[in-house]
Structure 1
Amino acid sequence: MTNTALTRVLLVEDNPADARLITEYLAEQSWPNIDADKPTVDHVDRLADARTALTEDVDVVLLDLGLPDSSGVETLDEVLAIGVPAPVVVMTGLDDERVGIDAVEHGAQDYLVKDDVTPRLLQQTLRYAIRREQQQRELRQRNAELALLNQVVRHDIRNDVAVILGWGDGLEAHVDEEGRTYLDRMLSAGEHITNITETVGDFLDVLEGDSEPELHPVDLESVLTNEIEKARSAYDNTTITVEGDLHDGLEVVATDLLSSVFRNLLNNAVTHNDKPEPEITVTVTDNGETVSVAVADNGPGIPDSQKDEIFGRGEMGLESSGSGIGLYLVDTLVEMYDGEVVLEDRAERPSASNRTQSGDNDPEGSVFTVVLQRSDPA
């Protein structure tokens, strides 16, 4: 099926009067680009018969949700499970928009209320359903090709960067102090490239999810400690201090991608820091039903006008003027976990101890606070 031509319709309807009316509407010769003897209508009145009649040459399915052998959205699920790529338009006798919306959420391309159907509305609905199905199928194919390309490119980049970092480590004993400065910058850039490839991979894992993520208890202490140790190893000129209620057995509701949240926040706190020796304080607060993790830095701070933009909120994340895909991924994941991310100036926090000498109104640094649901509220 390469166009929106309507040549074969599978009508699944157990009411003879409704079936006859729909068949007459489909045979209307006033429709443009449809011959008098087209489209062909295959009519069945049971789900069992629909399983046999739904073949690859069917362009679209008109489905009544209430059949003698099936009812409700389960009828739609059964038809979609057959696996034939024909779009499904649901018909209902209930003047209830919620029924149609539920059907679309379950995978139907559109819905029609029988009492409202006219020949013109029927034509438009079926043609639009066919076209949308084609576009979605083409998009899935392109996404699959891009995902494969991304996997190959990231693999090759990581391998080449690993070689660069390996040779760089071997050069440390052969450079003077001036050369070491340039070597350190080169190694830092290599580590940054590696972090980017990891972040892109995590981001695509989120985008490629076809359903709601399966949230489960995640050991916060283990995840956070591991990411802090990796950051300390990658940035040996950075001081990272941990404060508060981080302890063994503290679990939050998330997925295995929670580590990416803290990896990106820690990387952001270092790479966007203008101090020779970045200082980061990670503070964990157990609030009973939630857990807050604040990542504070001594960097330049972020203007109020950019506090939402930096996450890509209100616009496409990759086109935002913020810090890029890392923080957009953080915001996306935390929202998925039914949590929130709050960005503040460090001096605005009651426990802030790093106000500048020029006065309390001059903040130094930013604080990203992630609030997550506890898996076992205290």
Structure 2
Amino acid sequence: MTNTDPTHVLLVEDNPSDARLIAEYFKEQTWPEIEESEPEITHVERLSAAVDACDDTVDIVLLDLGLPDSSGLETLDTMVEGASAVPVVVLTGLDDERVGIDAVEHGAQDYLVKDDITPNLLQRTLRYAIERERQQRQLSQRNEELALLNQIVRHDIKNDVAIILGWGEGLEDHVDPTGEEYLEHIMSAGNHITDIAETVGDFLDVLEGNSDPDLRPIDIERVLTNEIEKARSAHDSVTVRLADEIPSGLRVAATELVSSLFRNLLNNAVTHNDKETPEITVSVDVHDETVQFHVADNGPGVPDSQKQEVFGRGEMGLESPGTGIGLYLVDTLAEMYDGSVTLSDNDPEGSVFTVTLSQW
């Protein structure tokens, strides 16, 4: 549709009186920002006919939920799928806010109660629906482009860092004692860059995944043991110990991304530790229906006023109360698994992050 073309409305309504009334409403007020005084209307009475008629010339669909060949939200689901990128506004005779909310959750741009429709309300609703759909398509396209760029950049960064770390390992036997310290810093920074790239990738997987994930039994002994070993290998100067043996066969309701949850908790405990020898203790408490995982450190701790802020989208920096994307990912994953993560003080110093997950 251009600014000089009439808007093409597909009206799906089996009640002739309602269809005529809506057509009259379009005539009572000039359609904004176009030369024609009223839109072009294609009227059909059945859902099957609407799906067939919804081609690339249609700008918006006005959909009655109760039709001869379909009723309720199934009507909307079928229309949204058949309409592709065409916005849908639901018409309902039920003065029920829940109906409208459900319709929007199922993909409608908006809804109108027939008894409340006025010419101005009808035209304003359709105009806004068309604009919202256009903006959503643009945003979706940008997100796809950014996701692809992110994937390419992370791939290149990880490859280059792997090469740097390989060269660094080759130098270990060829540097004098003075250079060992500098080489250690280079290797530590390289591993940190790799961790960041992996965390960003995991975070994007969460954002792009289903908001209601398919939880399944995860062998937490395998996951936690593996992440502790990774932390020990990546940070030679850090002591990471397991307070008690993890019960064999213990499973929690989660997804494979739960490994990222523990990896980021361990990395956080190392990164924000100001001791010459950082110490991290991992312990597990098994309850009747839940499991609690405690990651305790001997770092500087977190003031009470900032304990909630550390889980936000904090910027990494000296002046920031947040700790970056890592803890935000931890909090997001815990919530996605119907669990929780809390922060408390360690005794005598440091912090304790406690993650609670459901047993399978």
TM range (shorter): over 0.9
Per the normalisation by structure 2, the TM-score is 0.95
Structure 2 CA distance, aligned partners of 1:240 and 1:121?
A: 64
Deviations 1:335-366 (A, max 9, x none): 1111111100102xxxxxxx2xxxxxxxx110
1:134 matched to 2:115? The reply is no
What amino acid is aligned across from residue 257 of structure 1 in structure 2? Answer: L
Match of 1:69 in 2: 69
Q: How far did 1:222 drift? A: 1.2
What amino acid is aligned across from residue 371 of structure 1 in structure 2? Answer: T
- Aligned ranges 1:1-378 → 2 under 5 Å: 1=1, 7-35=7-35, 38-209=38-209, 211-244=211-244, 246-312=246-312, 316-317=313-314, 321-347=321-347, 355=348, 364-375=349-360
What amino acid is aligned across from residue 275 of structure 1 in structure 2? Answer: K
**Structure 1 residues 94 and 250: alpha-carbon distance in aligned structure 2, compared to 1, 3 A threshold:** same
Deviations 1:3-34 (A, max 9, x none): 79761000001111111111111222444335
What amino acid is aligned across from residue 366 of structure 1 in structure 2? Answer: S
Q: How far did 1:115 drift? A: 0.5
Root-mean-square deviation (CA, aligned residues, Å) is 1.7
Q: How far did 1:276 drift? A: 1.7
Q: Does the 8 Å CA contact 2:29/2:119 hold for their aligned counterparts?
A: no
Deviations 1:123-148 (A, max 9, x none): 11101100110111000100000001
What amino acid is aligned across from residue 69 of structure 2 in structure 1? Answer: D
Q: How far did 1:38 drift? A: 2.9
What amino acid is aligned across from residue 48 of structure 1 in structure 2? Answer: S
SS of 1:181's equivalent in the other structure is helix
What amino acid is aligned across from residue 246 of structure 1 in structure 2? Answer: I
SS of 2:41's equivalent in the other structure is strand
SS of 1:367's equivalent in the other structure is strand
**Count of residue pairs brought into register by the alignment:** 357
What amino acid is aligned across from residue 331 of structure 1 in structure 2? Answer: D
What amino acid is aligned across from residue 86 of structure 2 in structure 1? Answer: A
More displaced 10-residue stretch of structure 1: 262-271 or 29-38: 29-38
SS of 2:173's equivalent in the other structure is helix
**Structure 1 residues 272 and 211: alpha-carbon distance in aligned structure 2, compared to 1, 3 A threshold:** closer
More displaced 10-residue stretch of structure 1: 205-214 or 171-180: 205-214
Q: Does the 8 Å CA contact 2:298/2:350 hold for their aligned counterparts?
A: yes
What amino acid is aligned across from residue 150 of structure 1 in structure 2? Answer: N
**Structure 1 residues 344 and 3: alpha-carbon distance in aligned structure 2, compared to 1, 3 A threshold:** farther
SS of 1:341's equivalent in the other structure is strand
Deviations 1:23-72 (A, max 9, x none): 11122244433555531110111111111111111000000111111011
Q: Does the 8 Å CA contact 1:238/1:277 hold for their aligned counterparts?
A: yes
Q: How far did 1:245 drift? A: 6.1
Q: Does the 8 Å CA contact 2:91/2:113 hold for their aligned counterparts?
A: yes
Deviations 1:130-179 (A, max 9, x none): 01101110001000000010011011111111111111111111111121
Match of 1:351 in 2: none
Q: How far did 1:254 drift? A: 1.2
Q: Does the 8 Å CA contact 1:12/1:64 hold for their aligned counterparts?
A: yes
Structure 1 CA distance, aligned partners of 2:333 and 2:314?
A: 13
**Structure 1 residues 120 and 73: alpha-carbon distance in aligned structure 2, compared to 1, 3 A threshold:** same
Q: How far did 1:294 drift? A: 0.3
SS of 1:173's equivalent in the other structure is coil
Structure 1 CA distance, aligned partners of 2:4 and 2:200?
A: 36
Task: Show structure 2 runs of 5+ residues with no match.
Answer: none
**Structure 1 residues 255 and 317: alpha-carbon distance in aligned structure 2, compared to 1, 3 A threshold:** farther
Structure 1 CA distance, aligned partners of 2:152 and 2:47?
A: 44
Structure 2 CA distance, aligned partners of 1:330 and 1:14?
A: 51
SS of 2:120's equivalent in the other structure is helix
Q: Does the 8 Å CA contact 1:165/1:190 hold for their aligned counterparts?
A: yes
Q: Does the 8 Å CA contact 2:158/2:194 hold for their aligned counterparts?
A: yes
Task: Show structure 1 runs of 5+ residues with no match.
Answer: 348-354, 356-363
Structure 2 CA distance, aligned partners of 1:104 and 1:339?
A: 28
Structure 2 CA distance, aligned partners of 1:218 and 1:2?
A: 54
The percent of aligned pairs where both chains have the same amino acid is 68
Q: Does the 8 Å CA contact 2:103/2:111 hold for their aligned counterparts?
A: yes
Q: How far did 1:274 drift? A: 1.2
Q: Does the 8 Å CA contact 1:7/1:59 hold for their aligned counterparts?
A: yes
